[in-house]
Structure 1
Amino acid sequence: MEYQGTRTMQASPDEVFAFVSDVRNLPRYLPTTQRAEPQDGERVEGEAQGHHYQADGHFHQDPQNRRLEWGSDGEINYSGTLEVRPGGDSASEVRVHLRFEPDPQRAPNQDMPGEAPSDNQIQEGIDKALESIQNFVEGRGGKEEPSAAT
């Protein structure tokens, strides 16, 4: 399953990338994320939806291309990218792409602990994350949460 979102923001690409690439800012724009801290290498420790995670995935930064890549190492096989591109007139275009792959060793609907989010919830989470990034880089407010936790 794949999901994507794009949003134009009135901030320079360098400013937007500086904000999104700082691991400590992840809780400021990612739905359900309460804490995130950089670890050795390209690992992140934090808390999301009340669950602690530590080094169970990667978070790679490519400043030259203003691109982030992340993915899981655990039971949930997912990956994502975020790219910041010039949008003209001091604007930026931010693109997010998520990909979830079912684990062939697990039964359907057992890939995520607890209640798996619906397609609509995942898409709303992407949209709210992009809106939150825009709020911060344009100085218009803070984090937006989806109507239902994703």
Structure 2
Amino acid sequence: MTEYESSRTMPAAPEHIFDQVSDVDRLGSWLPEALHVHAEDPPAVTVHEDRTDEDTGALLRARRDQMRLEWGTRDQGSYTGWLQVAGIGSGASEVTVHLSFFDVSHDPGENAVRDALDTSLERLEEQVRQRVENAAG
């Protein structure tokens, strides 16, 4: 099993960030650009990965009471992940993403995963920042 984790501080309350990350229709706005999530019958989703040009059945659960988003492959159990939002005071939050690959063939490699995590968190932070600025302005 290979695991990766990355965190980023964002300028918003946890509830605002969680609203952004848990909206299935807006996942594509911050997830890696090579992943496309299509909602089916929640919590079931299909994830299309451009790298492999494959669709994979997955589960996606939003746990608002815990400010946590959890996901994983449905049938083969080769991949899971979670995103946790935690308030850190003064209107800021820390967002942590954790990925676990149980099947080495599903793992795109450390450099690719770290780049994807960093880019996704940057994109999410930018969207959160714009949303906060628009609400204030």
The Cα of 1:33 is off from its aligned counterpart by 4.2
The Cα of 1:118 is off from its aligned counterpart by 2.0
| Conserved 8 A contact 1:21-1:68 | yes
Residue 36 of structure 1 pairs with residue 27 of structure 2: no
The match for 1:130 is 121
Matches of residues 20-35 of structure 1 in structure 2 within 5 Å? 20-33=21-34, 35=36
Give the number of equivalent residue pairs: 129
The Cα of 1:76 is off from its aligned counterpart by 6.5
Superposed CA deviations along residues 43-94 of structure 1, whole A, max 9, x for unmatched, are 113533173536x110011001110110012457010010000021000110
The Cα of 1:2 is off from its aligned counterpart by 0.3
> What is the percentage of aligned positions where both structures have the same residue?
33
- What TM-score, normalized by structure 1, do the two folds share? 0.77
SS in 1 for 2:87: strand
The Cα of 1:39 is off from its aligned counterpart by 1.7
How many Å separate the matches in 2 of 1:48 and 1:59? Answer: 16
Of residues 78-87 and 32-41 in structure 1, the stretch that sits farther from structure 2 once superposed is 32-41
Residue 117 of structure 1 pairs with residue 108 of structure 2: yes
Q: What runs of 5+ residues in structure 1 fail to find an aligned partner?
A: 103-108, 141-150
Matches of residues 1-150 of structure 1 in structure 2 within 5 Å? 1-33=2-34, 35-49=36-50, 51=53, 53=55, 56-75=57-76, 77-102=78-103, 111-112=105-106, 117-139=108-130
- What TM-score, normalized by structure 2, do the two folds share? 0.83
Structure 2 counterpart of 1:83, one-letter code? Q
